[in-house]
Amino acid sequence: MLTYLRVENFAVVEKAEIHFCPELNILTGETGAGKSLLIDAIKLLIEKKIPPNSVRDKTKNLKVEAFFENNGDEFVLRREISAGNKNRSLAFLDGEAVPFHKLKEAAENLLNIYGQNEYLFLLSSSNHLDFIDRFSDNKVVLAGMGELFDELTVLKADLEDLKAEEKNASEKVDFIDFQLSEIRDIDLDKESEDELEQKVKILSSAEEIINSSDHVLDNIYRSETSVYNRLTDSLKSIDFLNSIYPEMSAFRDEIQKFYKTIPEISTLLSEQGGNIEHNEAELNRSEEKLFKIKKLKTKYNVDFEGLKQKKEDLLNEKEKFQNMEFSIQEKEKEISDKLIEYREINQKVRVIRQEHARVLSELVEKELSKLEMEKARFVVDFSEKEPDLTNITRKGTDKTEFMFSSNPGMDPGKIKDIASGGELSRLMLVLKSIIKDSADISYIFDEIDSGIGGKTADFVGSKLKDISKRSQVICISHLPQIASFADRHFLIGKEYRDDTTFSTVKILDEHEQREEVARLMAGKSVTNEVIEAARHLIDSKKQ
């Protein structure tokens, strides 16, 4: 809800501050006073283009500031436009500078502005389907259709991917076989990389290992001067010393342990040395295998275990390509089942829409007859299409178009081709009074009463009043019948100072409202009788 509007330095408006009420706000005034300019100022929060000569005083900025309340929250939207050739523009949301599109997005969520020739809603058939769904309260069933559409979209993409892969399946299988042959050639399961590295280390040092083993064996066990033989000779002396110096017992035990270990070490060295031979062919084979492993690890950016996993992944991928035809058949069956579900819900939505379209047609024609359009016809035309993968949408496959005729004997045609500006405004008003929009949206109607009068004007006012019971309405009018419905009446006036026109805004009290309605009824010839008639007119709208 728009609670407060401040406009500065905009055309004939030097400064205007308006406090709107939550219900029906009516703006009246003499021609040229600037009634529509206030609506144009609000449009600057939505439309980026700046009308020519908008900035009144070239030394000051044009400012439009609007305060809103929405679900208990408050919002402040502001736009400032500097004077000059380029009209530099700044946008603010709650005091923070933002790109214009952010300001526009916020304003569009809070305002619906309708001028006599601005009923784009009625001119786009895509909006007609949305209107029927809102009138039918189709939210739940459409949510189910949307979920099915999302699932079918994913399945369709999966099927296309599978078919694309199938085209090159044989080439891919050949490439996978080549990769597998590289990995299988090195037989990863026979020995690990660590085992291979150890083997290479041993084979490449075979002669040195044998020589080192013989050297150690000679020194500690086999030669006459070996450690073992010397310890043998020394043990008797150690035993004698231990018998005299008991504290040497621990040292004697350690020497005995080492003495007994030497034969075990010698046996191990003998076996190791005996098992080693200088095998150049095996060394070359192991080095080559190790080189291939490292090369493949680099190629696939994995470690040894990752290389083994790569082999399994390639086998699985090969199996997938070999079973591609079966996978495609499975996916097509899945899509077929989902399409059956979609067709069922599409038919359900179709029936609901058509049933409510008949009700809507009768209701609109009934309301139009009250607007001096007794012979008008309003028909909702449906173009039915059975769902397939090429035409499904989140809203179904049928197309909807509002058809209209205002003249008897004339078949209804597309609104955009037939309806005049005045007819569009009446149609919009009827539709807006029928549908239940959000209570937080403010509706602004600019000169909606153009070209009407009498009972029609009274009915337009009644419809505006109905809408204002759900959502705030701000309306510019020049008809007393509509002005008499106002919950808050604003008079837009003009005054002259220093040969310059200034626009003024005033909230009217009961007495002033009667005088303004009387002026609308009789022009400049306002008499006591006219004022009394205005009072009766206003009072009748309060009953």
CATH of the domain at 4: 3.40.50.300
Q: Residue 21 falls within a domain, yes or no?
A: yes
- Find the domain containing 460 and state its range: 1-110+440-543
**3-state SS assignment for residue 302:** coil
Q: Pick 105 or 274 by higher pLDDT.
A: 105
| Backbone torsions φ then ψ of 248, nearest 5 degrees | -85, 0
- The total number of structural domains that make up the chain: 2
pLDDT exceeds 50 at position 35: yes
Contacts of 62 (CB under 8 A, 6+ apart): 8, 9, 10, 54, 55, 56, 80, 81, 82, 83
Same domain, 193 and 98: no
| Residue-level pLDDT at 65 | 94
* Mean pLDDT confidence for 456-484: 88
Same domain, 101 and 177: no
* Mean pLDDT confidence for 359-383: 87
Q: Residue 306 falls within a domain, yes or no?
A: yes
**3-state SS assignment for residue 296:** helix
Angle between helices 206-217 and 249-275 (to 10 degrees): 150
Q: Pick 62 or 85 by higher pLDDT.
A: 62
Among 306, 322, 338, residue at a domain's last position: 322
* Mean pLDDT confidence for 420-433: 76
Q: Residue 287 falls within a domain, yes or no?
A: yes
List the single range of 55-69, 135-149, 230-244, 478-492 with lowest mean pLDDT: 230-244
Among 269, 293, 322, residue at a domain's last position: 322
| Residue-level pLDDT at 275 | 63
Dump strand ranges (E) for 146-279: none
Same domain, 174 and 289: yes
| Residue-level pLDDT at 421 | 65
247 DSSP assignment: G
Assign 512 a pLDDT band (cuts: 50, 70, 90): very high
| Residue-level pLDDT at 285 | 77
Q: Pick 10 or 221 by higher pLDDT.
A: 10
Q: Residue 472 falls within a domain, yes or no?
A: yes
pLDDT exceeds 80 at position 397: yes
Same domain, 182 and 279: yes
Percent of the chain scoring above 90 in pLDDT = 27
Q: Residue 452 falls within a domain, yes or no?
A: yes
Assign 78 a pLDDT band (cuts: 50, 70, 90): very high
| Residue-level pLDDT at 87 | 66
Same domain, 96 and 191: no
pLDDT exceeds 60 at position 156: yes
Assign 117 a pLDDT band (cuts: 50, 70, 90): very low
pLDDT exceeds 70 at position 103: yes
pLDDT exceeds 60 at position 116: no
**3-state SS assignment for residue 26:** strand
* Cα separation, 437 vs 307, whole angstroms: 63
Q: Residue 140 falls within a domain, yes or no?
A: no
Q: Residue 508 falls within a domain, yes or no?
A: yes
pLDDT exceeds 70 at position 289: yes
Same domain, 73 and 201: no
Q: Pick 304 or 273 by higher pLDDT.
A: 304
Beta bridge partner(s), residue 398: none
Q: Could you write out the DSSP letters of every residue in 77-138? A: EEEEE-SSSS--EEEEETTEEE-HHHHHHHHHTTEEEEETT--HHHH-HHHHHHHHHHHHT-
* Mean pLDDT confidence for 508-516: 92
Same domain, 104 and 238: no
**Ordered strands of the 399-405 beta sheet:** 377-383, 399-405, 413-414
Query: Which long-range CB contacts under 8 A does 32-35 form with residues at least 24 apart?
Result: 32/494, 32/501, 33/492, 33/493, 33/494, 33/503, 33/504, 34/492, 34/494, 34/503, 35/476, 35/492
Same domain, 187 and 314: yes
Same domain, 175 and 88: no
| Residue-level pLDDT at 206 | 66
Same domain, 192 and 94: no
* Mean pLDDT confidence for 400-416: 87
Average pLDDT, the chain: 83
Residue 408, token pair as written in the block: 């008897």
Contacts of 22 (CB under 8 A, 6+ apart): 1, 472
Q: Residue 511 falls within a domain, yes or no?
A: yes
Among 322, 340, 369, residue at a domain's last position: 322
Q: Pick 347 or 446 by higher pLDDT.
A: 347
* Cα separation, 39 vs 133, whole angstroms: 30
pLDDT exceeds 80 at position 542: no
Same domain, 191 and 66: no
Same domain, 174 and 314: yes
Assign 508 a pLDDT band (cuts: 50, 70, 90): very high
